[in-house]
Amino acid sequence: MTASDLRRSKARRERDKEARVEQRRRQLLDAAASVMHSTGYHAMSMQQLADRADVSVGLIYQYFGGKEDILRALIQDILEDFRDRVPMAVASAGPSPIARLTVGIRAFCEVIDAKRPGTLLAYREMKTLPLEDVERFKAVEHQTIEPIRQAILDGMESGVFRGVEVELVVHNVLMVAHGWALKHWHLASRMTLPDYVTAETDFILAALRPAMTEHAPPEHSPVTG
């Protein structure tokens, strides 16, 4: 075996190890979100988490320092999904502010749908974390919403959107995404996630469009389903 073969073999083993570590970490976070959703953050014991994840308590402590560390990781996990998926989705939509806003809203809602228990925990339990963690999470959320903010600003500059309070629209986009988790018990019996995203996106776009004039017909929104 050549030196190059040895390097490739070592790199492959390291990638496999990293994948196994991430898979185990993901297993523990999913189990923690499920248990905390049922019992609450403060009531959850590490033994309950170990039982749900089918691992030993000792193994949990190889990945996390304790319950607070797990809660912090759950919230960070959601924000990292926003950070990774939303800009990519918006960039793939092309230059149209309407298309960028549409796919951005969809991406936010899809992340929340995949992490509903974690989202509910973030709302309920973030206040238990140290202030520096809370402020850091706020800063990350501000960064993740930037592609939405920029799409609205570009739409206003091009005349596709009327002049609005941008931060209020950004807030409403976040509330639409979070609302799918917060009111899932009510909404899921009435509509699918794509239906919800389409309807809420239509509401937001209708509020953003300038008043119709005979000289300025409205731009049609892209298909949102």
For residue range 51-79, list pLDDT tens digits in order. 999 999 999 999 999 999 999 999 898 88
Residue that finishes a domain, picked among 17, 33, 65: 65
Is residue 25 domain-shared with residue 88, that is, in the same domain?
Answer: no
pLDDT number for residue 5:
65
Give 213's contacts (C-beta < 8 A, 6+ positions apart). none
* Separation between Cα atoms, residue 82 and residue 146, nearest integer Å: 11
**Nearest Cα residue to 155 out of 90, 87, 98, 89:** 98
Is residue 43 domain-shared with residue 89, that is, in the same domain?
Answer: no
Tell me what the mean pLDDT of segment 40-44 comes to: 88
pLDDT number for residue 166:
96
pLDDT digits (tens, 9 = 90+) for 95-130: 999 999 999 999 999 999 998 988 888 888 888 889
* Separation between Cα atoms, residue 114 and residue 74, nearest integer Å: 13
**Nearest Cα residue to 172 out of 137, 145, 136, 211:** 145
Is residue 177 domain-shared with residue 131, that is, in the same domain?
Answer: yes
Is residue 7 domain-shared with residue 86, that is, in the same domain?
Answer: no
| pLDDT higher than 90, residue 175 | yes
Residue that finishes a domain, picked among 65, 93, 108: 65
How many CB atoms are closer than 10 A to CB 97? 21
Is residue 105 domain-shared with residue 200, that is, in the same domain?
Answer: yes
* Separation between Cα atoms, residue 84 and residue 97, nearest integer Å: 20
pTM for the structure as a whole: 0.79
How many CB atoms are closer than 10 A to CB 96? 18
What range does the domain containing 54 cover?
Answer: 1-65
* Separation between Cα atoms, residue 192 and residue 48, nearest integer Å: 32
Contacts 24+ apart (CB under 8 A), 154-157: 154/97, 154/100, 155/97, 155/98, 155/101, 155/208
pLDDT grade, residue 214 (50/70/90)? very low
pLDDT number for residue 41:
87
| pLDDT higher than 80, residue 219 | no
* Separation between Cα atoms, residue 19 and residue 37, nearest integer Å: 27
CATH code for the domain in which residue 30 is found: 1.10.10.60
Is residue 53 domain-shared with residue 135, that is, in the same domain?
Answer: no
pLDDT grade, residue 18 (50/70/90)? confident
Structural domain count of the chain: 2
pLDDT number for residue 10:
64
